[in-house]
Amino acid sequence: MIGMIPAITLYSVANFLKRMKITRIRKIRAVERGNYQVLLHSAQGNLSIFYNYSLEVLLPTLIRLNTLENQPGWVREAKELLENSIIEEVDTPNFERIIRFTCRKYDRRYMFYVEIFGGGNSIIADGENRIIALEKEIKVRHRELKRNGFYTLPPSRGFNPLLLSDTDHEEIINKINKEKDYYRVLNLDKYTVREALSRIDPEVDEERKRHEFLNKVLELIKVAEKGEEGYSIIEEENRVILLPYQPKHKKPVASYNNIFEASEDYLKRRLNEELNRELTKKRRKLLEEIEKLKKNKIQLEHEIKVLDEMLPTLYQKIDELTEVFQRCREGKETDLHVDYARKVVHYPLNDNVTISLRFDMNPFQAIGLVYDKEYKRRKKGLEKIDEKLRELQMRVEKLDEEVEKAPSLEMKKIVMKKKEWYEKFRWFITKNGLMAIGGRDATTNEIIIRKYMEKNDIVFHSEYYGSPFVILKSGRKDALEEDIMETAIFTASFSRAWRDKILVLDVYYVYPEQVSKKAPSGEYLKKGAFMIYGKKNYLRKIPLKLWLGVKKDNKKLFIGPPTAVEEHCFRDLIFEITPGDLEKSEIAKRVIKAIKEKGLLELVGELEEYYHNLVISYLPPGKSSLRVIVK
């Protein structure tokens, strides 16, 4: 079977991504078997868009396939242009089987189009829709796509159904005169047309039916937009179709509550169907080769049997052979086929088997040579055929095992974890329950000061290059000395001093009204930098030391000053982290191993990978040392 994702399903996908509040493109990559994945960041966590031209598939998914080592040229261009770009809009232009991401990176706008019809294509255009990069150039009757040309949509097959609510229906209704006109008047797949027709009361007259048809199409589009009926798979006309509603005209082979369930099952069906088709093709070729070898084996066995039976009888024909050899040497005519160049005469043993005898030697020598060459050669050939048959049979058995495996492709899942607002920053909760947030880089430094700093907060910083700004929320009115000291430790630990293996650092704190983006006359403040006016309250020789543990209330990983971690985390497994010589990945590996052994978190499969990456993201910049504290 072949498959297809119709335009209404793509429209549903685009609106699902809007509901997920996708914010940026994280990565673009080519993965195994001609597939592509676009990894996205959303307010709900990470997910990806998976697409394949030959399968005509584009779906959001948590499945992840292995990345190709050598990325195609257009992917390398796309990575440079689109990775870490902000997504402003996602839509399906003109209700075609095209999804468009409108992105912004720095001060430039890009349009990223993915087409899943006509062999598929990926195109990146600038804000004026001029093509910057594309997978393949095309030139057909009504459309041309090439670098530096303008991107144009394919000619529409009918009226855009998305515009029905804003259009006078009479103009469209007047174009419906025959049953087949229902399938032509709108730019809509035939499965959804059938579904719209099936939802109309069969008792209505033809005039009413035409009006109801457009209303039912609008209802289905609204259902697809909101995902109200879930998703279903139907099989029709040797096709596997994924629809964003529960069809009434056709019983679905499977139904799903959400797009992730639907896409995972659909992709596994289609990808493994394709893989199994490849394996079946390989198996058929192997079986054809086996059959050919078996025929050769039968022929060889027959020839060996004839030689076994007939060679001894040649010795009874020595006189006849002597005369034949003599005539051949003298060049006289004979009824047998003679090859004078090779000095052999072709002597028939029966109607099917002929042997070549050298006539330049006596018959006894010629017969002996036949035994050594012809008989032994056939015997050796028979052994090789048996060996080859065993090898091919083993390969067939191995392919049969691969066909039975499900899924046949190695698939991993991206784990979606809904993040709290503060988790995009450095953060911890003091022993006494106050929230502290800090910048991860210049951008997040800018954000926390401009967006999250309030008059009752305390702002921490150090004069060491690369130090974060850290805000102790409500610290001005609620913080104890212990809270201030903990926040100072946190600020020092996430500064560049950690990478430089400095063990203590001076930290200061100020109040919001002392922090300003206004630079002195003639100076410029770069992103993430602020002017501090007035008195700085210094805390001297603050140690760079963090503890990491698993929180008791929600079993989330938690990193912060020792006293805070001791208060909020399980005490039977805590990690002390200080500047050192271990890479972040090694620290994460040891932490995850210890947590698994203690059974504090259920870390299996993709969850283990997720928490491994999470530990890395929590660690300060640079290398560290690790000590396990068991209480």
Cα–Cα distance for residue pair 376/29, rounded to 1 Å: 58
Answer whether residue 404 shows pLDDT above 70: no
- Higher-pLDDT residue of 171, 144: 144
> Rounded to two decimals, what is the model's pTM?
0.55
306 and 373 belong to one structural domain: yes
Distance set, CA 65 to CA 2, 264, 298, 516 (Å) = 21, 12, 47, 47
Q: Which of 544, 567, 589 is the last residue of a domain?
A: 544
Quote the pLDDT of residue 406: 44
The answer to whether position 468 is within a domain reads: yes
The two structure tokens encoding residue 528? 């993430």
| pLDDT tens, residue by residue, 358-387 | 999 888 888 888 777 777 888 888 999 999
Q: Phi first, then psi: give them for residue 102, nearest 5 degrees.
A: -95, 120
Q: Phi first, then psi: give them for residue 169, nearest 5 degrees.
A: -70, -20
Identify the band that residue 80 occupies on the pLDDT scale cut at 50, 70 and 90: very high
In a 10 Å sphere around its CB, with 0-12 CB exposed, 13-18 middle and 19+ buried, how is residue 384 labelled? exposed
DSSP 474-525: THHHH--HHHHHHHHHHHHHTSTTTTTT--EEEEEEE-GGGEESPPPTT--P
In a 10 Å sphere around its CB, with 0-12 CB exposed, 13-18 middle and 19+ buried, how is residue 25 labelled? buried
In a 10 Å sphere around its CB, with 0-12 CB exposed, 13-18 middle and 19+ buried, how is residue 600 labelled? middle
The helix/strand/coil state of 624 is strand
199 and 224 belong to one structural domain: yes
397 and 315 belong to one structural domain: yes
441 and 512 belong to one structural domain: yes
111 and 79 belong to one structural domain: yes
Identify the band that residue 604 occupies on the pLDDT scale cut at 50, 70 and 90: very low
Cα–Cα distance for residue pair 15/7, rounded to 1 Å: 12
Q: How many domains does the chain have?
A: 5
Cα–Cα distance for residue pair 214/595, rounded to 1 Å: 58
The answer to whether position 157 is within a domain reads: no
| pLDDT tens, residue by residue, 456-483 | 999 999 999 889 999 999 999 999 999 9
Answer whether residue 407 shows pLDDT above 50: no
398 and 423 belong to one structural domain: no
Quote the pLDDT of residue 478: 93
Place of tokens 């309250």: 537
Instruction: Quote the percentage of the chain above a pLDDT of 90.
Output: 49
Helix (H) or strand (E) holding 557: strand 557-560
Answer whether residue 129 shows pLDDT above 90: yes
Give strand ranges (E) for 71-120: 85-91, 98-105, 108-115
Quote the pLDDT of residue 376: 82
Answer whether residue 288 shows pLDDT above 90: no
The answer to whether position 205 is within a domain reads: yes
Name the residue type at position 417.
Answer: K
| R_g (Cα) of the chain, nearest Å | 38
- Higher-pLDDT residue of 68, 613: 68
3-state SS, 193-234, equals HHHHHHCCCCCCCHHHHHHHHHHHHHHHHHHHHHCCCCEEEE
The answer to whether position 555 is within a domain reads: yes
Omega before 520 within 30 of 0, i.e. cis: no
- Higher-pLDDT residue of 304, 138: 138
Buried b (16+ CB within 10 A) or exposed e, 165-196: eeeeeeebeeebeeeeebbebbbbbebbbbbb
455 and 374 belong to one structural domain: no
Q: Residue range 618-631: average pLDDT? A: 88
Quote the pLDDT of residue 300: 87
The two structure tokens encoding residue 492? 């020092």
Quote the pLDDT of residue 6: 93
Answer whether residue 85 shows pLDDT above 60: yes
Q: What is the DSSP letter of 361?
A: S
The answer to whether position 275 is within a domain reads: no
Q: Which of 404, 434, 464 is the last residue of a domain?
A: 404
Question: Domain range for residue 429?
Answer: 419-544
530 and 555 belong to one structural domain: no
Cα–Cα distance for residue pair 174/185, rounded to 1 Å: 10
Instruction: Quote the percentage of the chain above a pLDDT of 70.
Output: 93
- Higher-pLDDT residue of 201, 370: 201
